[in-house]
Amino acid sequence: MCSSTSTLPLLNLKKVIQDHREQYLMAFNIPMPCFPLASFSTFLLVSIASRTTFSISDVVCTDSTRVKLRLGEKVFGDYIHANYVTSPLLTTKFICTQGPLQSTIHDFWRMIFQERIESVLMLCKPCEDGRPKCSIYWPETVGETTAFDTVVVKNTGEDVDEFATSTSLMVELNPEYGMVCIRKQTYRWPDRGVPDHNSCRIPLYLLDRVRHAPCVVHCSAGIGRTGSIIALELALQKVVVGNKIDFEQIARELRCARAQCIQTEVQYLYIHRVMIENALLHINLNESTRATGQRFLREYDDKMRK
């Protein structure tokens, strides 16, 4: 059993089912909210050289929340396709970013060092379905050291468990000024999709291990899988303080910070599924409420198998 389920006060999760009872009885009539793509200021790069910093050409970077690189700014510039996600509910700083490209690995590590990031949550593989998703931005072999321009990264250890591979990395600007960052990668979350119906524990497990210190989250574009797991963290923290969970409002607020977060209706439904399954597993529900939640899970799982 993942430890996150024992550390969160989940009693209020019954509201997730009760407050959305009618929606869950019509499970696949839950619409994904439609929000303007960019009804806010966006930072647009116009030089041809700068366009190499984009992984997905139609993903914009919200100017008001973007991370500005100060380390090496005069030489390398201040831009990285990354945004802060802030909320009074969050217990730490989260940054959502695209998967590093070969041309942006140095910028990525500058950001890690500048923001004192203690963990990186990698929700993609470098290559999926024969298509590149991000570059290998860390030394893969334990004991190996790789220099990315001004930043040196050393692989100091690796651990593999049921849900993720964890790599301990020493990040240095110089031999006297270093920090440790843990990269956690799961292989069980497909592009534009969600983990299989038996895997609601995956995001809970991952979040439990990164929510206590500054964390960078990325997939390929940094909006689909990345947005889904941050939305889950916001929902979980609403439970902690006893607030009503409004999934549409969570998605709306998240998209104000990181444009286009949560790419598909399946991902939006998956957020509901994880919260409902968590409630069914860990709290006492009356018969009617439990039946509503179980029906949603059955219909969701049947749909995903088709």
Q: Is 219 a catalytic residue?
A: yes
CB atoms within 10 A of CB 213: 15
Which amino acid is located at 102 in the chain?
A: Q
Find the catalytic residue in 61, 134, 215, 219: 219
Interatomic CA distance for residues 211 and 178, integer angstroms: 22
Which amino acid is located at 202 in the chain?
A: I
Q: What is the DSSP letter of 42?
A: B
Q: Going edge to edge, which strands form the sheet with 151-160? A: 82-85, 94-97, 215-218, 119-122, 177-185, 165-174, 151-160, 145-148
From 227, 217, 222, select the one nearest 133 (Cα to Cα): 222
Interatomic CA distance for residues 192 and 201, integer angstroms: 19
In Å, what is the CA distance from 91 to each residue of 110, 127, 233? Answer: 23, 32, 10
CB atoms within 10 A of CB 254: 25
CA dihedral 233, 191, 300, 196 (to 10 degrees): -90
- Residue 244 main-chain phi, psi, to 5 deg: -70, 140
φ/ψ region of 5 (left if φ > 0, alpha if ψ in -120 to 50, else beta) reads alpha
Please give the positions annotated as active site. 219
